[in-house]
Amino acid sequence: MKNQIPVHKNEYYEMDIHSMGHEGEGVGRIENFTVFVPHALPGDRVKVKIVKTKNTYAYGKLIEIVNPSEHRVDPVCPSHIKCGGCQLQHLAYSEQLELKKQKVVDNLQRIGKLEDVVVHDTIGMEKPMRYRNKVQFPVGRDENTGKVKVGFYAPRSHDIIETDVCQIQHEINDSIIEKLKLWMEENNVSAYQEKTRKGLVRHIFTRVGFATGEIMVVLVANGAKIPNPQQFIDAMRSVNDKVKSIILNVNTKATNVVLGQENRLLWGTESIIDYIGDVKFHISPMSFYQVNPVQTEVLYNKALECAQLNGDETVFDLYCGIGTISLFLARNAKKVVGVEIVAEAIEDAKQNAALNDIHNVEFHVGAAEEVIPKLYNQGYTADVVVVDPPRKGCDEALLDTIAKMQVDRIVYVSCNPSTLARDLRYLEDRGYKTIDVQPVDMFPHTAHVETVILMTRCGQNDK
């Protein structure tokens, strides 16, 4: 007979929370049965209502905090619980950093079977607020009042939680939202509705150069024209004299993707300028560019430190985006070869190389797992490989080729500890050793953690 689970849907239980899940939810046990509780923290004792059950786990809704964790704090944002943007504002920042380190440790041990690797303390921010340089706000109208709503989606839904002030976005967005609402009300501009696919304004999308102060405003519309465009331009320019680019992005598809493929310049320049360290970048609406410029410099400097370049090396930078890491590496390497599947990003990378007068780089369009084996078969090889893959991690074909090259050092920049651990195990089984593991907090008050890892080929340090 199948074992009965010890909890039942719609019933109430008290439990202790002992750890954090990968989405920032609290994790506890009832009679050794795992229960996930959003908004609960390790150290809390809570009363929960079971809302979903599976064979091996359940989800509970937080009803009451019976005894709070010593690390629980009051969140600065009143929309914290409703909004899906920040999962951990109610946790003291020092403890956020500790839990992110533990998240990396747990994945390396459980998935990677790496028991003897030292994981450094997470590098956090001195001021972990107002750190994002990019934001995309969905736009709608309140069904009861008819007024314009701008904010963020609630977790696991497309219900807009109105957000006049967001504490992790740049302050300029508060004024941009205010001006957008006024323009829409004065011109009776409709907001897009997903169910009917009618309505005009879908999102307001902004980028801010933290080093230069330059601002880009992108209005994402379900059409190629907007009412009274000059008034919209004047409204956005009145926000700040650093507004340099105002763009209409046309997105008429029934999709969850924010940006469409067509950009129409309404006013100013088609891109803005920003710096990471002393490397200069053109940033367009479509550019992939790290959203936390302060911590990006920390992350890239750590990657550069791990690469241990002396000027004689050939470096492969895989998943290179617009060339951000490539250009950091190029000043210390003989040659850098960047690979990225998005053709537009490669064009940006080439432009950024020229912008910085860097000539020892070349860029290839294509999937890394296809391009690198092909280059290897043509006789290309590298001394150092840097990988910065998406959340799914690296393809085995790519990892196999890197191992065959017998590169001296692998620098792995990861946004997902679980796929990182899997890939490190794969490389360790093929002759590499994990030497250095450094978590970096790129997204304070969320459950995400970036990690920079150095691997060396076994035996090379014995020469």
Q: Which residues contact 261 (CB under 8 A, 6 or more apart)?
A: none
Q: Are residues 251 and 380 in the same domain?
A: no
* pLDDT of 336 strictly over 80: yes
**Within-domain flag for 216:** yes
* pLDDT of 130 strictly over 90: yes
How much is the pLDDT for 459?
A: 63
How much is the pLDDT for 3?
A: 63
Q: Are residues 115 and 163 in the same domain?
A: no
115 pLDDT band, cuts 50/70/90, is confident
**Within-domain flag for 86:** no
**Within-domain flag for 206:** yes
- List, for residues 418-435, the tens digit of each pLDDT value: 999 999 999 999 999 999
Q: Are residues 54 and 104 in the same domain?
A: no
How much is the pLDDT for 462?
A: 41
Residue 340 and residue 6: Cα distance in Å, rounded?
Answer: 49
* pLDDT of 177 strictly over 70: yes
Considering only 14-18, 164-168, 312-316, 349-353, which range has the smallest mean pLDDT?
Answer: 164-168
How much is the pLDDT for 156?
A: 76
**Within-domain flag for 162:** yes
Q: Are residues 438 and 313 in the same domain?
A: yes
Instruction: Residue 45: give its domain's CATH number.
Output: 2.40.50.140
**What does the mean pLDDT of the chain come to?**
93
Q: Which of these is catalytic: 83, 166, 394, 415?
A: 415
Closest of 56, 24, 58, 52 to residue 40, by C-alpha: 24
How much is the pLDDT for 434?
A: 97
Please report, rounded to a whole number, the percentage of residues in the chain having pLDDT higher than 90.
Answer: 82
How much is the pLDDT for 463?
A: 37
Q: Are residues 247 and 355 in the same domain?
A: no
Q: Are residues 177 and 272 in the same domain?
A: yes
Q: Are residues 363 and 438 in the same domain?
A: yes
Q: What is the mean pLDDT of residues 193-215?
A: 93
Q: What is the mean pLDDT of residues 79-107?
A: 91
Number of domains the chain contains:
3
**Within-domain flag for 409:** yes
Please confirm, yes or no, whether 415 is among the known catalytic residues: yes
Q: Which residues of 35-65 are buried (b: 16+ CB within 10 A; e: fewer)?
A: bbbbbbbbbbbbebbbeebeeebbbbebeeb
Q: Are residues 50 and 143 in the same domain?
A: no
Q: Name the DSSP class of 461.
A: G
How much is the pLDDT for 1?
A: 35
Q: What is the mean pLDDT of residues 274-290?
A: 90
460 pLDDT band, cuts 50/70/90, is low
Closest of 461, 455, 459 to residue 438, by C-alpha: 455
Domain limits at 121? 98-126+292-462
